[in-house]
Structure 1
Amino acid sequence: MSKNNKLSQLYLVVVFLVLYAPILYLMYYSFNSAGTMHGFEGFTLEWYDEVFHDTRLLIIVLNTVVIALFSSAISTILGVVGALAIDRVRRSKPRNALLAMNNVLIVSPDVIIGASFLIFFTMIGIKLGFVSVLLSHIAFSVPIVVLMVLPKLQEMSPTLLDAARDLGASGWGVVTKVVIPFIRPGIFAGFFMALTYSLDDFAVTFFVTGNGFSTLSVEIYSRARHGISPSINALSTLIFLFTMILVVGYYFLTRRGNRRPEWGVQQP
Structure 2
Amino acid sequence: MGRNRFSNIYLMLVFLILYAPILYLVYYSFNSGGNMHEFEGFTLDWYKEVFADTRLLIIVLNTLVVALLSAAISTILGVLGALAIQQVRRRQPKNVLLTLNNVLIVSPDVIVGASFLILFTIIGIKLGFVSVLLSHIAFSVPIVVIMVLPKLEEMSTNLVDAALDLGASRLDVLTKVVLPYIKSGIFAGFFMALTYSLDDFAVTFFVTGNGFSTLSVEIYSRARQGVSLTINALSTLLFLFTALLVFGYYFLNRRKALAVGMEVKQ
TM bracket, shorter-chain basis: over 0.9
Residue 112 (str. 1) matches residue 145 (str. 2):
no
Residue 212 (str. 1) matches residue 201 (str. 2):
no
Q: 1:261 & 1:37 partners in 2: Cα distance?
A: 49
Shift >4 Å, 4+ stretches = none
Q: How big is each residue's C-alpha offset from its partner over 1:125-155, in whole Å with a ceiling of 9 and x where there is no partner?
A: 1000000000000000000000000000000
State the Cα distance separating 1:246 from its structure 2 match.
1.8
Q: In structure 2, what is the equivalent of residue 138 of structure 1?
A: 137
Q: 1:254 & 1:241 partners in 2: Cα distance?
A: 20
Tell me the SS of whatever aligns to 1:194: helix
Q: In structure 2, what is the equivalent of residue 255 of structure 1?
A: 254
Q: 2:161 & 2:48 partners in 1: Cα distance?
A: 60
Q: In structure 1, what is the equivalent of residue 128 of structure 2?
A: 129
Distance 1:164 1:67, change over 3 A: same
Letter in 2 for 1:101: L
Instruction: Map 1:16-165 to 2 at 5 A.
Output: 16-165=15-164
Q: 1:180 & 1:206 partners in 2: Cα distance?
A: 35
Q: 1:94 & 1:251 partners in 2: Cα distance?
A: 35
Gaps of 5+ in 2: none
Calculate the TM-score normalised by the size of structure 1. Answer: 0.97
Q: 1:243 & 1:23 partners in 2: Cα distance?
A: 13
Tell me the SS of whatever aligns to 2:179: helix
Q: How big is each residue's C-alpha offset from its partner over 1:19-57, in whole Å with a ceiling of 9 and x where there is no partner?
A: 111111111111111100011111111101000001111
Residue 3 (str. 1) matches residue 2 (str. 2):
yes
Letter in 2 for 1:238: L
Letter in 1 for 2:108: P
Q: 1:261 & 1:242 partners in 2: Cα distance?
A: 29
Tell me the SS of whatever aligns to 1:247: helix
Residue 267 (str. 1) matches residue 238 (str. 2):
no
The count of aligned residue pairs is 265
Tell me the SS of whatever aligns to 1:40: coil
Note if contact 2:191-2:245 (Cα within 8 Å) is conserved in structure 1.
no
**Percent pairwise identity:** 75
Q: 2:264 & 2:240 partners in 1: Cα distance?
A: 39
Note if contact 2:148-2:186 (Cα within 8 Å) is conserved in structure 1.
yes
Note if contact 2:86-2:149 (Cα within 8 Å) is conserved in structure 1.
yes
Query: What's the C-alpha RMSD, in Å, of the aligned pairs?
Result: 1.1
State the Cα distance separating 1:244 from its structure 2 match.
2.1
Gaps of 5+ in 1: none
Q: 2:70 & 2:264 partners in 1: Cα distance?
A: 39
